[in-house]
């Protein structure tokens, strides 16, 4: 079950910039098993770790949704850096706005099930590089 966060809607050029950052992130980590998947140009994209979606970005007329899988910290820790980087460029909806647009926060049960599921196998992880101070994804 992915974690969801909703943000204020953004213009085409703003989404294009987020897309470029996501692509640069993946290009720097292809050897670790990351892949960029554009499900709808200008509106929706995903980042996969060895075939498993770990980050989704979906642009709707009323808001932008960013979801990160609950096991991303184990499966693809670097994707959490990307999430933080992208979040800084967005204006979040407050809790009530998220509820009104149908974007609930993950429930405690989801987190408990994840904790009980155990660790992600080493071969299913994507580990590697981080974001450097020059504004680029690097080793």
Decide if 24 is inside a domain. Answer: yes
Q: Whole-angstrom Cα distance, residue 137 to residue 139? A: 7
Query: How many CA atoms, within 13 angstroms, populate the side-chain half-sphere of residue 92?
Result: 15
Decide if 122 is inside a domain. Answer: no
Query: pTM for the complete prediction?
Result: 0.75
Q: Whole-angstrom Cα distance, residue 139 to residue 132? A: 8
The β-bridge partners of 63 are 8
> The tokens 């204006």 sit on which residue?
91
Query: Tens digit of pLDDT per residue, the chain (139 long)?
Result: 556 689 999 999 999 999 999 999 999 999 999 999 998 888 899 999 999 999 999 998 889 999 998 888 888 999 999 999 999 999 998 878 887 887 766 654 455 555 555 555 556 568 764 445 555 555 4
Q: So what's the pLDDT on residue 83?
A: 94
Q: So what's the pLDDT on residue 134?
A: 52
Decide if 48 is inside a domain. Answer: yes
- Residue span of the structural domain in which 107 resides: 2-117
Decide if 139 is inside a domain. Answer: no
Q: So what's the pLDDT on residue 131?
A: 46
Decide if 112 is inside a domain. Answer: yes
User: What tokens does 124 get?
Assistant: 């299913």
Domains held by the chain: number: 1
Decide if 42 is inside a domain. Answer: yes
Decide if 81 is inside a domain. Answer: yes
Handedness of CA 31, 55, 59, 40 (dihedral sign): positive
Q: So what's the pLDDT on residue 98?
A: 80
Gyration radius (Cα) of the chain, Å:
15
Strand 130-131 with 137-138, pairing? antiparallel
CATH number assigned to the domain comprising residue 95: 3.30.160
């Amino acid at each position: 079950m992915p974690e969801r966060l909703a943000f204020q809607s953004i213009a085409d050029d703003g989404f294009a910039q987020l897309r470029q950052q996501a692509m640069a992130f993946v290009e720097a980590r292809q050897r670790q098993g990351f892949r960029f998947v554009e499900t709808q140009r200008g509106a929706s994209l995903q980042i996969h770790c060895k075939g498993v979606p770990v980050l989704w970005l979906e642009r709707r007329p009323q808001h932008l949704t960013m979801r990160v899988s609950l096991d991303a910290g184990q499966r693809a820790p670097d994707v959490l850096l990307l999430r933080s980087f992208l979040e800084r460029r967005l204006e979040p909806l407050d809790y009530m706005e998220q509820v009104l647009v149908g974007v609930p926060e993950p429930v405690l049960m989801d987190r408990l099930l994840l904790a009980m599921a155990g660790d992600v196998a080493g071969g299913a992880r994507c580990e590697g590089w981080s974001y450097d101070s020059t504004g680029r994804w690097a080793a």
